[in-house]
């Protein structure tokens, strides 16, 4: 997969940061994980993703470090 496919393909595109933040807040209110909006360098729209340290998947075959709370 190309970097663009990993970063953008299959993700919901929001036209503004505000729209992405609204959706992230809705997900959280419905019991989902804390999410944050971020600008995409490829499509120039916004996506939402896990907050740093909160992702539950692996990148490039390496598990992400767990955060201590």
DSSP 26-56: HHHHTT---EEEEE-TTTSSEEEEEPTT---
Give tens-digit pLDDT for 6-63: 888 889 999 999 999 999 999 999 998 889 999 999 999 999 988 777 666 555 544 4
Strand-strand pairing, 46-50 and 62-63: unpaired
The pLDDT value recorded for residue 57 is 58
Q: Is the pTM of this model over 0.75?
A: no
What SS3 class is residue 3?
helix
Query: Is pLDDT larger for residue 1 or for residue 64?
Result: 1
Rounded Cα gap, residues 63 and 45, in angstroms: 28
- Give me 21's structure tokens: 């933040």
């Amino acid at each position: 997969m190309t970097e663009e496919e990993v970063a953008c393909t299959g993700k919901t595109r929001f036209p503004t940061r505000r729209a992405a933040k609204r959706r992230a807040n809705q997900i959280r209110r419905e019991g989902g994980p804390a999410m944050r909006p971020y600008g995409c360098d490829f499509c120039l729209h916004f996506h939402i993703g896990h907050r740093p340290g909160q992702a539950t998947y692996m990148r490039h075959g390496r598990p992400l470090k767990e955060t201590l709370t």
